[in-house]
């Protein structure tokens, strides 16, 4: 049976502002990505996901879109995009773009019209002397801003990101048209931003708290699924297995499964995986819950919104974070389904915590009054080469939009390429082995008995073993070791290490 490409794809997230700057303005761009396509093809990923590169005032790094059908001059032109898609395809890489349907920028033509007092029905405006309800912005502070004429508008994120009113059919038509625009340009799929937020409960009732609960008046309203049924019909009307993956934060795999019903999205991000602590019980629980609930699993450890997993896994013992990050990657790549990687994890980059307040750009930092550091620490421009900033990210002498720490010098692509012990070469080996196993192993996994602290599972001829405990454990029976995330001691799997074993 033919398996659609996305079902076991490894997708590499490119945070466009921080990947590669060809124009020399300190901000990553489409031309920079084009130059680095050979690197991505060699790394061994199947697809790239590009974060928003559309026209935007950058109130939230481009997740505030002013024109959904154009490229911001900061990132290039539509011609650059066309060339990027053609070249990516020539390298065998699929292209997924971000679509941001929950809100636009306040600079969008529709919101500008609304500000002039016309056609406010495409957004969520209300009268009143006080904010219409108690909703808080995800970034901090109230979710309502008042205009000089007295009306309030809703923004679940920054004030520069007004929420659309999806009860207005015109919004549906507009987004179907936006999707068609990019599908006609040859994109292979979409990552749907804030996919569970588009509909708000009728009457906009107060919430007791802001958590992502099924009964929330904000998140996961039943009406949202109608949107994805419309989108699925559109995707299926194109050839080439076009797909969509939803950014869906839920409390349970059952809620997640609602988004991937046969007539809805092909995939949803599985954030339970990145939220799991370093614990075999927690990992096993997420794996069982996921495989039991969704027909086509996805896995992700890091993205542009969360603290990098190397840093999340750190302990007082230096080196633990990286060992665990590599072991977790090996386990993730052995699981059924597709895996999403985040740029820089293949270099083992940590979260950059020491950014000075004046360098910070994330609205989370500002809207929380500096209380929360925000997400800049995982968005620091990549180190490609050289001995000093900008480490090949920008042309020499250019300051990248966020400062890079000195430790990036030894972590650049140039510093790691060809060094068999480097994280980069480990990723290359793991992705190559995964490709070799593709098609040869069944989708389903079986658990094997494992000693305390460890997890062992098999998929046909592949056995994956991970040791999350504090002492070494014997490896399960095998013919040969395919790959390990760190050195093995004879037949023993050391702590914070994973191995792939050949069992037939």
Instruction: Mark 242-261 with x for binding to ligand BGC (rule: CB under 6 A) and - for no binding.
Output: -----x--------------
Q: How far is the CB of 51 from ligand BGC (least distance, A)?
A: 8
Residue entry with tokens 């966020």: 402
Give the C-alpha separation, 504 to 493, whole Å.
20
Using the minimum distance from each CB to ligand BGC, give the nearer residue, 48 or 431.
48
Q: How far is the CB of 62 from ligand BGC (least distance, A)?
A: 9
The answer to the question of residue 193 lying near ligand BGC (CB under 6 A) is yes
Q: How far is the CB of 460 from ligand BGC (least distance, A)?
A: 35
Enumerate residues 6+ apart whose C-beta is below 8 A from 169.
none
Residue 496 is among the residues annotated as catalytic for this protein: no
Interface with ligand BGC (CB under 6 A), residue from 13, 29, 60, 255: 60
Q: How far is the CB of 350 from ligand BGC (least distance, A)?
A: 20
Q: How far is the CB of 52 from ligand BGC (least distance, A)?
A: 8
Using the minimum distance from each CB to ligand BGC, give the nearer residue, 65 or 468.
65
Cα dihedral across residues 64, 67, 68, 72: positive or negative: negative
Enumerate residues 6+ apart whose C-beta is below 8 A from 334.
434, 457, 459, 462, 464, 500
Phi, psi of 273, deg, nearest 5: -65, -45
Using the minimum distance from each CB to ligand BGC, give the nearer residue, 100 or 464.
100
Enumerate residues 6+ apart whose C-beta is below 8 A from 209.
none
Size of residue set near ligand BGC by CB under 6 A: 9
Q: How far out from the chain centre does Cα 337 lie?
A: 16
Q: How far is the CB of 115 from ligand BGC (least distance, A)?
A: 20
Q: How far out from the chain centre does Cα 242 lie?
A: 18
Cα angle value 323/324/325 (rounded, 5°): 95
Instruction: Mark 145-174 with x for binding to ligand BGC (rule: CB under 6 A) and - for no binding.
Output: ------------x-----------------
- Collapsed DSSP state (helix, strand, coil) of residue 438: coil
Enumerate residues 6+ apart whose C-beta is below 8 A from 164.
101, 102, 103, 104, 122, 123, 124, 171, 198
Q: Which tokens sit at 112?
A: 């500008």
Q: How many helices (H) and strands (E) does the chain have?
A: 14, 20
Using the minimum distance from each CB to ligand BGC, give the nearer residue, 382 or 466.
382
Using the minimum distance from each CB to ligand BGC, give the nearer residue, 193 or 345.
193
The answer to the question of residue 194 lying near ligand BGC (CB under 6 A) is yes
Using the minimum distance from each CB to ligand BGC, give the nearer residue, 338 or 367.
367
Using the minimum distance from each CB to ligand BGC, give the nearer residue, 72 or 193.
193
Residue 60 is among the residues annotated as catalytic for this protein: no
Q: How far is the CB of 396 from ligand BGC (least distance, A)?
A: 30
The answer to the question of residue 65 lying near ligand BGC (CB under 6 A) is no
Instruction: Mark 84-103 with x for binding to ligand BGC (rule: CB under 6 A) and - for no binding.
Output: ----------------x---
User: Measuring CA to CA, which residue among 375, 371, 369 is closest to residue 355?
Assistant: 375
Give the C-alpha separation, 55 to 82, whole Å.
16
Using the minimum distance from each CB to ligand BGC, give the nearer residue, 7 or 191.
191
Query: Scanning residues 433 to 472, which ones bind ligand BGC (CB under 6 A)?
Result: none
Q: Which tokens sit at 209?
A: 């708290």
- For residue 174, how many other CB atoms are within 10 A of its CB? 17
DSSP letters for 82-142? HHHHHHHHHTT-EEEEEE--SB--TTSHHHHHHHTTS-GGGB-EE--SS-SS--B-TTSSB
Q: Find the residue with minimal CB distance to ligand BGC.
A: 63
Q: How far is the CB of 219 from ligand BGC (least distance, A)?
A: 12
Using the minimum distance from each CB to ligand BGC, give the nearer residue, 197 or 494.
197
Interface with ligand BGC (CB under 6 A), residue from 63, 228, 231, 391: 63
Q: How far is the CB of 180 from ligand BGC (least distance, A)?
A: 22
- Of the residues 13, 29, 163, 247, only one is catalytic, namely 247
The secondary structure element, H or E, covering residue 462 is strand 462-467
The secondary structure element, H or E, covering residue 328 is helix 320-334
Give the C-alpha separation, 147 to 112, whole Å.
12
- Of the residues 163, 193, 314, 351, only one is catalytic, namely 193
Query: Scanning residues 284 to 323, which ones bind ligand BGC (CB under 6 A)?
Result: 304-305
Contact set with ligand BGC (CB under 6 A): 60, 63, 100, 157, 193-194, 247, 304-305
- The residues annotated as belonging to the active site are 193, 247
């Amino acid at each position: 049976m033919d398996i659609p490409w996305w079902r076991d794809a490894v997708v590499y997230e490119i945070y466009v502002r921080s990947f590669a700057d060809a124009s020399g303005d300190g901000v990553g761009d489409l031309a920079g990505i084009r130059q680095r396509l050979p690197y991505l093809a060699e790394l061994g990923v199947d697809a790239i996901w590009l974060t928003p590169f559309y026209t935007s005032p950058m109130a939230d790094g481009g997740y505030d879109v002013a024109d959904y059908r154009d490229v911001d001059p900061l990132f290039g032109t539509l011609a650059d995009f066309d060339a990027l898609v053609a070249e990516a395809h020539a390298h065998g890489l699929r292209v997924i773009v971000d679509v941001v349907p929950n809100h636009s920028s306040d600079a969008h033509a529709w919101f500008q019209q609304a500000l002039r007092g016309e056609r406010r029905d495409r957004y969520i405006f209300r009268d009143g002397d006080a904010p219409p309800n108690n909703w808080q912005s995800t970034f901090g502070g109230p979710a309502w801003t008042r205009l000089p004429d007295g009306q309030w508008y809703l923004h679940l994120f920054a004030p520069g990101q007004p929420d659309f009113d999806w009860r207005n059919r015109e919004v549906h038509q507009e987004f179907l048209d936006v999707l068609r625009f990019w599908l006609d340009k040859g994109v292979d799929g979409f990552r749907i931003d804030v996919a569970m937020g588009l509909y708000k409960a009728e009457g906009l009732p107060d919430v007791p708290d802001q958590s992502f609960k099924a009964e929330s008046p904000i998140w996961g309203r039943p009406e949202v699924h109608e949107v994805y049924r419309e989108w699925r019909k559109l995707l299926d009307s194109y050839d080439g297995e076009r797909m969509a993956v939803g950014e869906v934060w839920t409390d349970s795999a059952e809620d997640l499964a609602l988004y991937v019903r046969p007539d809805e999205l092909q995939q949803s991000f599985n954030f339970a995986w990145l939220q799991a602590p370093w614990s075999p019980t927690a990992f096993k629980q997420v794996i069982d819950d996921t495989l039991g609930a969704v027909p086509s699993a996805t896995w992700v450890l890091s993205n542009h919104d969360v603290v990098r997993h190397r840093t999340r896994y750190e302990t007082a013992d230096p080196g633990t974070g990286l060992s665990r990050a590599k072991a977790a990657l090996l386990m993730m790549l052995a699981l059924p389904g597709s895996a999403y990687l985040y740029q820089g994890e293949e270099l083992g980059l940590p979260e950059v915590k020491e950014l000075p307040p004046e360098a910070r750009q994330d609205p989370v930092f500002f809207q929380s009054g500096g209380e929360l550091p925000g997400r800049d620490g995982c968005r620091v421009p990549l180190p490609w080469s050289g001995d000093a900033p900008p480490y090949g990210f920008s042309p020499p002498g250019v300051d990248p939009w966020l400062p890079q720490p000195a430790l990036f010098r030894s972590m650049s692509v140039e510093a790691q390429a060809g060094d068999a012990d480097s994280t980069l070469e480990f990723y290359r080996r793991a992705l190559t082995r995964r490709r070799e196993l593709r098609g040869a192993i069944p989708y389903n996994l079986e658990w094997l008995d494992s000693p305390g602290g460890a997890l062992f599972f098999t998929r046909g001829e592949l056995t994956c073993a991970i040791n999350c405990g504090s002492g070494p454990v014997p490896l399960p029976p095998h013919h040969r070791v395919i790959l390990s995330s760190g050195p093995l001691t004879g037949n023993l799997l050391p702590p914070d290490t994973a191995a792939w074993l050949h069992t037939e």
